[in-house]
């Protein structure tokens, strides 16, 4: 039985799962980000609390390719998944792909890899906006949610919720999730997840839930890897998803390929938006 370890952070653990699948599965040890990482000091993740470790283990134990998931106590392992942090592609390549490249294996990221999550409905649209990797210059169109506020719930910490309301001006209620597994079930039970690069988006990506990413212009390593993932929010997209209009479906073997073509087009459009906005600011001055 193969043994793996990962010291986080939480979203990175979710993005490591395709690599574990490609390597045949086994037992996964979850470290707290401080012990026996086996990587340079500058590449260390943020430390995790014991509660965070326990919560991610609860979710991961549902995965059929993991025979067991345990806290890491310096056991010998076959695969040190923390090695992904040494990659020179870390900031520009999808984090799941970085893990795969690090260990020389392949997995088509058009497929889901987070399984056995029972959906739990609390709202049609679930929103999360963490404090890390935020986009700048108001490029992301949060205004599209005006008129949909009563169909949305924010999940995340109280201070994140307060900042989200201040930043967007949207009147959206907050739901306090009990655990990471609860978060995954709530996202799975929605029609759409919207958020920036975070654990919540990693959960949506792993389940291939319809999702819109508020991407970071600096860290382009979490772009949606299937055609039901988007990076540009608008009213038309909201209407289609909430009215269950069937999205264009293709075999996942091609899904990842086409999604990345669209990601590159969206990145180009965002650069144009930023240039126009920058020119507009200069003109005003």
Structure tokens at 258: 């086409």
pLDDT at res. 245 = 62
Structure pTM?
A: 0.92
Check if CATH label 3.40.50 holds for domain 125-277. Answer: yes
Parallel/antiparallel/unpaired status of strands 192-196 and 125-128: parallel
Angle between helices 199-207 and 10-22 (to 10 degrees): 30
Question: HEC states along 211-238?
Answer: EEEECCCCCCCCCCCCCCEECCCCHHHH
pLDDT in tens, 165-202: 999 999 999 999 999 999 999 999 999 999 999 999 99
In the predicted structure, residue 253 carries a pLDDT above the cut 90: no
Provide the residue ranges of all domains of the chain, joining segments of one domain with +: 2-103, 125-277
Please give the Cα distance from 14 to 66 (Å, whole number). Answer: 13
pLDDT in tens, 88-128: 888 889 999 999 999 999 999 999 999 999 999 999 999 99
Please give the Cα distance from 67 to 58 (Å, whole number). Answer: 13
């Amino acid at each position: 039985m193969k043994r793996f370890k990962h010291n986080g952070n939480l979203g990175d653990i979710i993005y490591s799962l395709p690599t574990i699948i490609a390597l045949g599965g086994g037992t996964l040890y979850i470290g707290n980000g401080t012990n026996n990482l086996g990587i340079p000091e500058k590449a260390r993740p943020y430390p995790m609390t014991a509660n965070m470790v326990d919560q991610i283990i609860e979710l991961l134990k549902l995965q059929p390719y993991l025979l067991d998931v345990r806290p890491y106590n310096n056991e010998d392992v076959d695969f040190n998944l923390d090695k992904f942090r040494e990659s020179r592609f870390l900031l520009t390549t999808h984090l799941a792909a970085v893990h795969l490249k690090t260990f020389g294996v392949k997995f088509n990221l058009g497929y889901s890899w987070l399984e056995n999550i029972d959906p739990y409905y609390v709202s049609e649209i679930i929103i999360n906006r963490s404090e890390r990797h935020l986009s700048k210059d108001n490029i992301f169109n949060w205004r599209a949610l005006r008129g949909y506020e009563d169909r949305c719930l924010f999940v995340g910490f109280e201070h994140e919720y307060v900042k989200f309301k201040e930043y967007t001006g949207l009147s959206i209620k907050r739901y306090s999730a009990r655990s990471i597994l609860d978060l995954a079930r709530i996202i799975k039970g929605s029609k759409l997840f919207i958020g920036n690069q975070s654990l919540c988006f990693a959960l949506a990506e792993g389940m291939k839930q319809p999702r819109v990413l508020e991407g970071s212009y600096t860290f382009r390593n979490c772009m949606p890897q299937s055609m039901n993932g988007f990076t540009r929010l608008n009213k038309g997209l909201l209407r289609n998803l909430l009215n269950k209009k069937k999205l264009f479906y293709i075999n996942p073997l091609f899904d990842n390929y086409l999604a990345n073509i669209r990601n590159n087009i969206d990145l180009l459009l965002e650069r144009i938006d930023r240039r126009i906005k920058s020119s507009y600011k200069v003109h005003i001055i």
